[in-house]
Structure formats: C-alpha cells, structure tokens
Structure 1
C-alpha cells in the first residue's frame, strides 16, 4: 500500500489525486475554447499544466529516496502535449542525468514486434493464426503453434533465459555476443511448458522465433523491416537497432550488483559494477536489440496505445484483453500465471486495467511506459539504481513500475494501473 508521503511527500494523497484529475480535465477542456475565450483558455491551460508539473516533480523527488535511485527520467504527455519531461540524479558520478540521454528499451521491442505483426495482418500479408511451420517447419511443435500464440505468450515454448547455459553464460561473461541460433536451440530443445494455447507463460523464445518468421515472410532483415514499418512511421528519431552493445551518446549509465553471488562477493562487502555496456544480445532476436530516449518511449506508448499505425480491427486484437481466465502456475510451468481483467497480455503489450503498457529491466536499468486511451495520457519512466537498492545477494526489483503507478494514480486516480 502506498503511504501519503510516498505519493506526494507532504500532501494528502487522495486530495492530491483529486486535484490532479481536476487539473487534467481543465487542461483538456480548455483546449476546446475559441473566439474571445481563447486567451483565457490558454492561460487556464498553462496554469493547469504548471500545477501538474509541480506534482509530478514531487512524485519524482519522493521516488528517488524511496527506491534508492541513482537517476530517474520521466516524460508525461496528455493528448500529445508535453506536460513534464524531467530528469533527476546522476548518470555517472558528477554527470547529471538529462532527458536527452539514451538507454536500452528491452521488451519495448516486443511491443514494436506486436505492432509490426498487426500491420502485416491488416494488409493481408500475414495470418496471425497460421502455424509457424509455414516458415519454420524444422522447429519442434511448429505445426501446433501459431503466430498469435507466440505473440501472446501462449505457445508453451520454454524460456531460454532461465536455462543454465544462459544464466551461467551471462554471469560468466556479460559482454558475450550471443547468436540467434544458439538461443533458439536452447529454448526449443526443452519440453513444452504446456500444451499450446492452454496456459500463459512469458517466454523470450517466442519473440526470438517471431523475428525469424518476419524475416522469412518479408525476405528482409528484421531491423530494416522494423525501421520502415514501425519506427519511422511513429516518428521516432532516437530509437534504433544495433548488432553491438553500443549506445549512442549521450548515454545513461547503469550499475549493477547482480553478479555478486556468481563472483562469490561476501554479503557485507560493498560491490557494484558499471553494467552500461553489458551485451544485451541474449535478450531477444538480433534486429530487435534497441536503444531509445525518453521522448521516443513516451511517443511509443501514445502511438501503440492509440492504434495509430494499425487498422481498428487489428488494434482491437493487439490491445484487447482476450485471454482473461486463462493461465495458472503449475509444476511444469513455474513462470506461468493467470490472466485477469486487470492484468493481461495482448500482442506484445501488457494490459494493466485500461492502461496499455510495457516494461523493461536489464543490468540495473529499469523502464516502463503506459498509455490510457480514454484520457490520452502517456507516461514513460526510466530508472537506474544506487548500491543501496540491492539486497545481500545482489538482487533488486525494477522500481520503474511502482514509479509509473504513482504517476498513473496522479493523472487518472480512478483508473488503477493493474492489480495493487
């Protein structure tokens, strides 16, 4: 449960949320004025935006202390209008974090992939319910598993990320360049976690295969297809795929203690290492390993959440919570979980109540984005951690989601962002 001090620092959380909601209504409603009322409407909107920025700043300041953050970057827009774009903390010692800094976007590339699939399906170039044996007949269970099952995480393929080869391999050499073929081999060589279509289990193996399906279908490299069909049409200027661990400058640096146990660092001994350029090639298919900035992250939330690039029918399929009631944790699938009305999964997107979202967590750097269609509110958050954020074993949670939830409660107090 969030306390008053966690939400606002000094003000009553319920009063703050009510006041913020009123300010958003004023900000949106004032844009509808005209004629002699234009100047007054503009003045009212500016005042509402300014008050909302102050409250967002208060949430950010509280979050820095609550979550032991080294850096926090946030962007909030309403109907495409920049309400707040701000950075707190440091990238490196003595180097302030800025809103221009680049960082990895992790699973946001899954969201782009889901959008790409919806675009291709809307054109008639792809049948979401076609078996993947159409393109990859050599894969185990390829005739039983469809494109849609891969995209909505109901295929049953095991997640290679949790296999010893990857767990130990990434700890032993975080700079290693992994190949699609070796990751795919690890994922599909394991028994299915469940019969395809009968459960829900998050698996990176799914999107590794989807990337290869797209390349077979289009006969073009995935990065080029993503750029032409998704990134450029969204107007993203600072999002790009890379085949290396490079990040364009200026760079938001991250620090991690997650290798403490592997390296046998005693629990009481201070330990953190610069993880900025650890290689993310194991996280997804080549061509979908990407970097971005906070502006592009918020724009992505808005474009995906509003269905800007896809047909209405495919938008409904991409962001519709069609799996409610499916999913349960079993002995064969400890990573499986139930899909509910307030926590679901579409085609590459998290569905948190009425918010359309995505998160990422890699090497001490967290991120999250969300969009509320009925209010046209977009939120983007990225975080890095101080050493105090890690426990004695070197583990830490991703604070970007709770920070985003606080902002969501501020902007739309009557629309909770998923389960509490």
Structure 2
C-alpha cells in the first residue's frame, strides 16, 4: 500500500490496484492527487475546535477545512497545526457516526506512522551500537531467502527487493473476503519472501510491507523484548505520546472515530448501481504492520511525533540524516512487472520510512475508509496532521476512494508556508 515517488502509479501497490485501498504511505498518493468530484454532501460542517478561531492563520485553516468537507465528500475531518509544538489550530468537522460529532481527541489507526517509529527505533539501536545498518539480515534471520544479500538498511529504505505480501493473492483477496481475520507477522513474512523477488537486493526501489514485517522481527530480537514493549520504551515514552496505544487486535480505545467504506463492493459482487457502504471501524489491521507495531493515536500525538522525527530529537545527527535526508534521490527506476518501482527525485523521495517532499518530512496512511497524513517543515517548525473519513459519495463505482487528506495537507502548506509549499 505504499506507492513510490512521482513516477509510480498513483494507486497503492496492490495486485489489483483498482480494488485495493488500505493502510498506505505513498509519495504518488500525496503528490499525484486528482481531486474528488464535488457533490451535494450533507455532513454537518459545524466545527468542534479546541482552538479559538480568531487570527488569520486559524481562519485560513478553518476555511480550507470547511471547503474540503464538501469538495471531497468527507464524513469527518480532523486537523491539527502546531508551530514549534505550540497549538495554532486544532479542530474537527462532520460526524463520527450519524448524530455523533467528530472531535479532535478521537482515536484513529496511525498506519505508516508506526513504520516511521520502527526506523526511529532501529537508528536508536544503531546509535547504541546494538546493530549496524550494514549488517546482513542473515545475522538475525538466517533462514530467510536472500538473507546473505539483504542489509538492514535495505529493509529500512525499501530497497531489499522482497516482494510486497500485499500483492500476493492470499492477502489481496483474503483481507477483503474476511476483513476480521487475524494475521500473524510470521505468515505475512512467509507470503512475501516466498514470492519471486521484485529485483536483486539494492538495485532498485519499491515500497514493500514485507520489509517492515521483517524489520520489526529483527528489532524484537535485537532489543530482547516484545516489539510492543520496545515501542513504549523507545518511542511512545521518549516522544511524550500521551494518546498513542498499541493493540494487536481490532480494539480501539474510546473515543473512536468510526469509519465506513465501499471498498469491498467488487469483492462481494455488489453492482455499481446498488448502494453499498459498510462500517469498517473494527476491520482487523493485523496484516498492516508487525505484531507490536499496530497502534491507534490522535491528531495531537501525530503532530508531536512528526516534529520529533523531523527534528531528530531521539537520534544522533548522523542517524537523523540517515532517516530524513534524500539519500535515495536519483536512485531507482520503473521496471516491467514492478508496479511500485520508481525513481526517487530531489523533490519526491523516500527516506527510512519517511516521505520526503522538498523540505517537508511526512507520512500517510489510507485504510478501511479512513486517512491520516502528517507533514513537518523543519525551517518553520510547522507540523500538520489531517485525519479523514468519507461519505458514500467519496467512493467510486468500484469502491475506491481518493485520498482527500493529501489535498488538504497541500492546501494548508500553501496557506501556512507560502514560500515552501509541498511540491506539486
């Protein structure tokens, strides 16, 4: 579900790209936006805001949010903007469920953001001399295919060549036929590594969830504890994340932002002319991240954590540069049979599980009818988090939804950082 830089297809990298909408980060989603068609959305635009909307910046954010509700057929929209950690705007529009207003403190799945946490933890281990980016995977998981050729760095920056398990029919079809199934990290790794490699290790770039399933397993081995405990010790605690919770089940702490989806329309054979819109809040996310890295959060922690990543507060300067510098710029190329293979550029590239867009650092997920996207601009210490859910009109005839959060983030970047907006 990650897509690559701008040259890659806009849709997440799925075996059937016209059907699959899932937890995702993707430069092409963020950058290759096509606006959703406007419609007569009926969701309330009344705001639940913890920020007094009085200054020009707050008014700009509010206006962009209200416009997006109708323009992108949103059921809810939650936005937080901070400058150097101080609140500029925090507010919510629309509804969680019918008659239940969305509020800024509602819990959502953080998706790809947890992958960013994995690489942050990895680089802390590097700083502590517990592991090296140059280590071969065979040092930790010798039984995996190509373990002698794949390095830890290749897992972190998605250049290993391991096939994405999301492409494989067992997962592509299985997650829609039974969205409540509990997957294990081990079976997902087996599915991904049993498929033919996408390319020889270190010779190209393509996002693959398999990399991060393996990386999570390595980190637990190096740290000597379950990954969930390491997440608390190395990420949640040090970053001061007060509203981020781990669970390897579909459970979400209250208050919950409920989500709804039409994504299974084609799988279930529902004709395009028939209404189809189901609750997806408690679909099982176990296939989206390794055990111990599945989390829920809120917009406050999303802005807090992306600033911590953007500033490198938990890392040495060298490790921070390894994570967020455009070290892959110019690397990678489209390849036949590899929908996610793409070239990284100076403006649009992939770090170690972070999206690099000009001076902006961020990440993005789209899963089960809900989106969450973050962006951080280091020179201004500007952090933005956007969370979305969708009305029925937000889905096309095949059940796909376009990522409105990326469009909202782009608009906010232009308004709040006109000299350094997100690259087009």
Q: Identify whether the pair has TM-score above 0.5, normalized to the shorter chain.
A: yes
| 1:226 corresponding residue in structure 2 | 231
CA shift for structure 1 position 167: 1.1
Superposition pairs of residues 13-412 of structure 1, within 5 angstroms: 50-412=55-417
Q: TM-score, normalised by structure 2?
A: 0.87
| 1:30 corresponding residue in structure 2 | none
Tell me the alpha carbon deviations over residues 178-235 of structure 1, each in whole angstroms, 9 at most, x when there is no partner.
0112111100001111111111100000000001101111111001011101111000
Contact 1:102 1:292 in 2 (8 A): yes
Contact 1:194 1:332 in 2 (8 A): no
CA shift for structure 1 position 296: 0.3
How many residues align? The count is 378
Contact 2:261 2:279 in 1 (8 A): yes
Structure number having the greater helix percentage:
1
| 2:42 corresponding residue in structure 1 | none
| 1:10 corresponding residue in structure 2 | none
Tell me the alpha carbon deviations over residues 303-357 of structure 1, each in whole angstroms, 9 at most, x when there is no partner.
1111111111111111010011111121132211110011111111110111010
Tell me the alpha carbon deviations over residues 97-116 of structure 1, each in whole angstroms, 9 at most, x when there is no partner.
00010010001001101111
Find the residue that maps to 1:281 and give its secondary structure.
coil
Q: TM-score, normalised by structure 1?
A: 0.88
Considering only CA atoms, is the larger Rg found in Structure 1 or Structure 2?
Answer: 1
Distance 2:336 2:57 in 1: 47
Contact 2:117 2:235 in 1 (8 A): yes
Tell me the alpha carbon deviations over residues 359-380 of structure 1, each in whole angstroms, 9 at most, x when there is no partner.
0110000010011111100000
Distance 1:211 1:204 in 2: 11
Distance 1:314 1:168 in 2: 38
Distance 2:278 2:342 in 1: 33
Distance 2:167 2:401 in 1: 17
Distance 1:365 1:90 in 2: 13
Distance 1:190 1:48 in 2: 53
Contact 2:53 2:59 in 1 (8 A): no
Find the residue that maps to 2:314 and give its secondary structure.
coil
Distance 1:2 1:106 in 2: 20
Contact 1:70 1:383 in 2 (8 A): yes
CA shift for structure 1 position 416: 2.8
Distance 1:280 1:303 in 2: 25
Find the residue that maps to 2:55 and give its secondary structure.
helix
